[in-house]
Amino acid sequence: MQVGTTEMKLSEISLFVAFCIAQAPFAPAFGTSVTELRARGDSLRAAGQFEAAAEAYRDAYSEDESNNDVLRALADVSIKLGDLGAAMQAYQLIIDNEKNDVDAYLELARIGWLTGDMETALKYVEFAEIVSVRPNEKIPAYRAIILRGKGELVAAESVLVAACSEFPNSALIESNLGLVRALTKGPEVGFEHLKRAYEIDSLDVYVLSSLGSLYFAAGQLDSASMYFDRALTLEPDNYILKRNMEEFTRLTDQTSIHKLMSEGVRYFDNALYTKARKAFSDVIALDSNFFEAYLNLGFTHNLLGEPRKAVVVFKRASELEDSSAPLYIGWGNALAVIGELDSAIEKYRVAISIDSTVPEVQNAMEAVIRLKAEKARLDSEKAEE
């Protein structure tokens, strides 16, 4: 490696930094040594008080700007807090102190792909490779992750296949190859590699979360949840894991919603209204803003002879979406059954104003108008008696 070439490439790093670093990024602390501040930060970090720990590490840095151990600790708690910008700043300061710090470049690459900046992430991997003096499995693994994120699956697979020869017992390489081949060759092949990675290291959080991701993609939600839970048990403060788990939970809820809605519609079509009512109610429990679930539940209440419940449900549906003719037809039907004829007619007229081509609404409104006239006649006769 030519020193001149290396220095030239390293100088390019400023082109890829996502923010500007101030000359004095942290406020100075007085009267406390770096060792004491570092110890305080370590104690707070161990206790899970990450914001206070970050403050202690910032104070320690202000006392000794060349202390890379303090900066690594600050980066760690910043990531736990979800403050990737602060973590990126800390790693950049490490590089300012030591331009050949491979781990700092790799962590910057990881933050790059987590924030969706794949080009910058790839550039940091290239810098890590330039300054690395010994084999490092993270370099090909991270390059492959970034290539996969860019959709360059063939290139990612090629990198990982070559890395398998250099790192034959790497759970990181094997699990990444599994994720790529799940996309290029199918989930069965992907599982083969991930199970091999699990055999290498069953306590590796990345392996466990990768297995969770692949099981989720295969629709095996219980298995996915098990592996995600195991990963979080090992690293409960891992911000990335927690973020992935939140996304998994959200997607799981969406999958459950789709399944429940399909079941509800099937029950409704087969006149199994009690089961349909439960399915649509379960959807609403998962997503309180799901308009179609309220609409279907309202019609189901009508068919079960529960018009007052239907009125409540249709009212809530109208707060979510007020331009649905079927909503006002069902609402009008429920109001008519409980004797609120004028309100029923009003709802039918709203439905007609939205879509005058629906024959049911005109027929329903005419029937209620006749019912109202008949009621008026009977009331008049009763008053005359």
Do 292 and 378 fall within a single domain?
Answer: yes
Answer yes or no: is 115 within a domain: no
Does 93 lie in the same domain as 31? yes
- 120 inside domain: no
184, pLDDT greater than 90? yes
**Mean pLDDT over residues 127-153, rounded?**
96
Please determine, for residue 6, whether its predicted confidence score (pLDDT) is greater than 90.
no
Asked whether residue 342 is domain-assigned, the answer is yes
Q: Are residues 263 and 380 located together in one domain of the fold?
A: yes
Whether 80 and 191 map to the same domain: the answer is no
**Same structural domain, 367 and 259:** yes
pLDDT at 374 over 50: yes
Q: How many residues appear in the chain?
A: 385
- Torsion over CA: 290, 293, 298, 301 (sign): negative
Q: Are residues 33 and 141 in the same domain?
A: no
For the cut 50, the answer to whether the pLDDT of residue 3 exceeds it is no
Confirm whether 58 is domain-assigned.
Answer: yes
Cut 0.85: pTM above it: no
| Rounded-to-integer distance, Cα 214 and Cα 175, Å | 11
Q: Cβ distance 174 to 183 under 8 Å?
A: no
The answer to whether residues 97 and 204 belong to one domain is no
Q: Identify which of 174, 92, 383 has the alpha carbon closest to the alpha carbon of residue 182.
A: 174
280 and 376 belong to one structural domain: yes
Q: Tell me if 161 is assigned to some domain.
A: yes
Q: Specify if 124 maps to a domain.
A: no
Mark whether 215 and 266 lie in a shared domain.
Answer: no
Q: Which of 109, 143, 165 is the last residue of a domain?
A: 109
User: pLDDT > 70: what percent of the chain?
Assistant: 90
What pLDDT is attached to residue 29? 47
206 and 283 assigned to the same domain? no
Within a domain: residue 208? Answer: yes
Residue 3 sits in the same domain as residue 54: yes
Query: Does the residue 175 lie in any domain?
Result: yes
DSSP state of 12: G
Judgement on whether residues 271 and 351 belong to the same structural domain of the protein: yes
Task: Note the pLDDT of residue 385.
Answer: 61
Query: Domain range spanning residue 291?
Result: 255-384
Among residues 93, 109, 125, the one where a domain terminates is: 109
Q: What is the CATH number of the domain that holds 336?
A: 1.25.40.10
**Residue 278 binned pLDDT confidence (cut-offs 50, 70, 90):** very high
Number of folded domains that form the chain: 3
- The sign one gets for the Cα dihedral 222, 224, 228, 230 is positive
User: pLDDT tens, 64-88?
Assistant: 999 999 999 999 999 999 999 999 9
Average pLDDT over residues 311-340: 94
Tell me the mean pLDDT in the region 11-24: 37
First to last CA, the chain: 112
How is residue 272 written in tokens?
């199994």
pLDDT-based confidence at 11, cuts 50/70/90? very low
